[in-house]
Amino acid sequence: MQQTARHLPAGERRAATVRTVVALAAEQNPGEITTAAIAERMNLSQAAIFRHFPSKDAIWQAVMEWVAERLLARLDEAAGGAATPLAALEAIFSAHIEFVAAHPGVPRMMFGELQRAEDTAGKRMARTLLARYDERLKSLITRAKETGEVDAAVDTATAAALFVGTIQGLVMQSLLSGAAPSLRSAAPGAFALYRRAIAAA
Amino acid sequence: MQQTARHLPAGERRAATVRTVVALAAEQNPGEITTAAIAERMNLSQAAIFRHFPSKDAIWQAVMEWVAERLLARLDEAAGGAATPLAALEAIFSAHIEFVAAHPGVPRMMFGELQRAEDTAGKRMARTLLARYDERLKSLITRAKETGEVDAAVDTATAAALFVGTIQGLVMQSLLSGAAPSLRSAAPGAFALYRRAIAAA
DNA sequence: AAAGTAAGTGAGTAGTCACTCACTTTTAGA
DNA sequence: TCTAAAAGTGAGTGACTACTCACTTACTTT
């Protein structure tokens, strides 16, 4: 990100480090991001990193916290402005796509953390994020059943899983093509199909 | 896998190595699988690995070839026995779920390879596999539109992406819970929703 | 301007990684 | 039964990794 601001206060340096990791994850395998690479991107010595984080795991934890806070805030904001539960689902869908289009490294980091064998802090944070996401989806789907927008015969948990899967399908397509714009343009069509899957007849 | 067969002929040792990597990927982050770990699992010295593969990249290439061959063969077999295009899609869905339930490391390896920054042989193989998969899906969906099973208004490419996404949603759920059985039990419900998304009214 | 403190650095360390090589053991064919 | 080739090994190597530490530089407060 910014290059030439030296001697940042600790809080800002931590924030800059997190932003740098998110940016690097958009370019390379998150598992292969080294502390040296992070430092180089910030025009800092590698040793400086460890003045602000006790370990590399702590960096990943901070990054996953950043993702959880920002993503959930945007989703809640999007859902809040919607008139009906189904409209809220669509708003969340768009907001999520917008978020990963702006930060292409995020889904890669999520998958990377979830795949870790050890039970790291970052992995727990990723799990928590997904659990909270799932909660919100299930709540909205339940309410949409009550308003009659979603078919009552549809299983709520399955519908929530398909919502996430629909996004993942788009993400995978963009991973293959390497293009972020395709994500945004393909999103409306994907949600239209998802709506068909759950909508009442 | 098997432990005590020493001095295997080269072909069998290569095959055993691939099987070992697939098994290890079910237990840990594929990116962290070392040649030492592979050798240890086979009760072999690490140096022996390099008598059969010129590099670690070559191992990954062989593994991805194994996956591509076996998976596509099973999918084609499943599709072949189906009466209609939509039935073929369902058979492919089941066969795919069965495959990843039997080899839980496979989706992790796929994602791991696709995330690589460098253009490795394994990554190219993963890309090719997905492209072939996509082809088959689009062909079946097109034919299902002709028979009237699938709504002609549904976009073929989007429907193919949602098919893959539906499976990924299930895989992600099982990654979170760590349980393979949940994959198999949740699959029929997930396909039922997918069918609703694309079926003709 | 002096001094205390926070931020940053150069030069390390121990450990791990993929990969090599001179050498030994096993297998298979005549 | 002998032998050559194939399969496997022990002991390395250089490159890279997260992390440390004694020391320096910059900022802030008085």
Interface residue B169 vs chain A (CB under 8 A): yes
Nearest to A27 among B117, B127, B159 (CB): B117
Which tokens go with A168?
């993942």
SS3 content of chain B, % helix, strand, coil (to 5): 75, 0, 20
Average pLDDT for runs of 10 along chain A of length 201: 70 98 97 98 97 98 98 98 98 98 96 91 96 98 98 98 97 84 93 98 84
Interface residue A126 vs chain B (CB under 8 A): no
Give the residue among A18, A33, A31 at the shortest CA–CA distance from A116.
A31
**Angstrom distance, B115 CA to D20 C1':** 32
| Residue-level pLDDT at A176 | 86
| Residue-level pLDDT at B2 | 43
Q: What is the DSSP letter of B45?
A: -
| Residue-level pLDDT at A117 | 85
**Angstrom distance, B36 CA to C15 C1':** 15
| Residue-level pLDDT at A5 | 65
User: In whole angstroms, what is the distance from residue B140 CA to residue A14 CA?
Assistant: 51
| Residue-level pLDDT at A1 | 40
Please answer whether residues B165 and A97 qualify as being in contact, where contact means their C-beta atoms are separated by less than 8 angstroms.
no
User: In whole angstroms, what is the distance from residue B89 CA to residue B58 CA?
Assistant: 33
> What does pTM read for this prediction?
0.95
Residue B1 pLDDT > 70: no
Sign of CA dihedral B188, B191, B196, B200: negative
Residue closest to sugar C1' of C25 by CA: B7
| Residue-level pLDDT at B175 | 86
| Residue-level pLDDT at A7 | 87
**Angstrom distance, B27 CA to C20 C1':** 30
Q: Where are the alpha helices (DSSP H) in A55-155?
A: 56-80, 85-102, 105-115, 121-146
Contacts across the A-B interface (CB distance below 8 Å): 131
Nearest to B161 among A29, A30, A173 (CB): A173
Interface residue A107 vs chain B (CB under 8 A): no
Residue with tokens 């809220």: A88
Interface residue B153 vs chain A (CB under 8 A): no
The tens digit of pLDDT for each residue in B17-31 reads: 999 999 999 999 999
Under an 8 A CB cutoff, do A112 and B115 touch?
A: yes
Find the length of chain A. Answer: 201
Strand D positions within 7 A of protein Cβ atoms = 6-12, 16-22, 26-27
User: Distance from CA of residue A158 to its chain's centroid?
Assistant: 20
The neighbouring-strand residues paired with B199 are: B150
Strand C positions within 7 A of protein Cβ atoms = 6-12, 16-22, 26-28
User: In whole angstroms, what is the distance from residue A20 CA to residue A9 CA?
Assistant: 16
Q: Which of A56, A106, A193, A195 to substitute to test the interface with B, most B CBs within 10 Å?
A: A193
Shortest CA gap A41–chain B (Å): 17
**Angstrom distance, B48 CA to D4 C1':** 20
| Residue-level pLDDT at B69 | 98
User: In whole angstroms, what is the distance from residue B147 CA to residue B108 CA?
Assistant: 36
Q: Which of A32, A57, A96, A111 to substitute to test the interface with B, most B CBs within 10 Å?
A: A111
Under an 8 A CB cutoff, do A170 and B165 touch?
A: yes
The tens digit of pLDDT for each residue in B45-85 reads: 999 999 999 999 999 999 999 999 999 999 999 999 999 99
User: In whole angstroms, what is the distance from residue B181 CA to residue A70 CA?
Assistant: 34
